[in-house]
C-alpha cells in the first residue's frame, strides 16, 4: 500500500490550534523508528457530542470503547493493530491521534456510488463539490451500523446530489432514485481511502 498524503494535512474544519506533527514520507510506516514522534491529540466536538453511549441515535463511538469491541472490527486493510487501547492507521503515521472528524475508532466504512452514463459521445460521471474542502468528489457517505451497503449508496446519493429536490417529497424523484439503484452494481474498489478528516 502506498503512503497517504491527505491524512497528514490539516482539514479545513479543524481549529487553528490543531496542527499535525510533521511526518516525512519515509517515516509514515509504523515499521520505521521515529523516537521523536509526538502526534497531536484531536477529536472534533461534533464527534464527541454524538457519542452513541450517551446520545440517542448518536453515530460516534464512545471516548473509551472496549478494546475487545475494537478487535472485532473489520478492515479491508487486514488485521487492526491496536496500541495503547487505540487502533492504528493501517498505512502509518498521520501526525495526529484521536478521531478527528470521523465517528469510529478504527475503520470508518463508507460507500460511494459511481453513477455514469453515455450522453451522445460523452461519458458522464456524477460528482459533487465538497463544502468542507472544496474538492470534487464522488457522492457518498458512511455506512451506518447494521446497514446494507446498497441502502447506504442510495441514501447518500440522494442526500448529496438531490437533497433539496428530495426534501420536496417529489414522487418522481423517489421513483428515479429507486430505478437508478434497482440494478446490481459492480464493486470497483474496496480498501483504504486517504482522508484528511483523520
176: which residues sit within 8 A by CB, 6+ positions away? none
Residue 146 has pLDDT above 60, yes or no: yes
- Residue 166 has φ and ψ, to the nearest 5°, of -65, -30
What is this structure's pTM?
0.84
For residue range 36-78, what is the model confidence (pLDDT) as tens digits?
999 999 999 999 999 999 999 899 999 998 888 888 888 888 8
The Cα 73–Cα 96 span in angstroms is: 21
pLDDT given for residue 60 in this prediction: 95
Which residue shows C-alpha cell 458512511?
142
Amino acid at each position: 500500500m502506498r503512503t497517504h498524503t491527505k491524512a497528514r494535512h490539516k482539514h479545513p474544519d479543524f481549529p487553528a490550534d490543531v496542527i499535525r506533527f510533521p511526518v516525512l514520507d519515509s517515516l509514515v510506516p509504523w515499521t520505521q523508528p521515529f523516537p521523536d514522534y509526538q502526534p497531536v491529540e484531536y477529536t472534533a466536538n461534533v464527534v464527541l457530542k454524538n457519542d452513541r453511549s450517551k446520545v440517542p441515535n448518536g453515530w460516534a463511538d464512545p471516548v473509551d470503547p472496549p478494546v475487545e469491541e475494537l478487535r472485532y472490527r473489520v478492515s479491508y486493510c487486514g488485521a487492526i493493530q491496536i496500541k495503547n487501547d487505540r487502533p492504528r492507521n493501517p498505512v502509518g503515521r498521520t501526525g495526529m491521534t484521536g478521531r478527528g472528524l470521523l465517528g469510529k475508532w478504527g475503520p470508518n466504512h463508507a460507500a460511494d456510488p459511481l453513477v455514469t452514463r453515455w450522453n451522445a459521445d460523452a461519458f458522464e460521471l456524477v460528482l459533487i463539490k465538497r463544502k468542507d474542502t472544496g474538492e470534487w468528489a464522488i457522492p457518498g457517505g458512511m455506512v451506518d451500523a447494521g446497514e446494507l451497503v446498497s441502502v447506504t449508496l442510495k441514501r447518500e446519493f440522494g442526500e448529496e446530489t438531490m437533497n433539496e429536490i428530495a426534501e420536496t417529497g417529489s414522487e418522481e424523484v423517489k421513483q428515479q432514485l429507486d430505478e437508478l439503484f434497482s440494478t446490481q452494481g459492480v464493486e470497483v474498489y474496496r480498501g483504504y481511502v486517504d482522508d484528511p478528516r483523520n
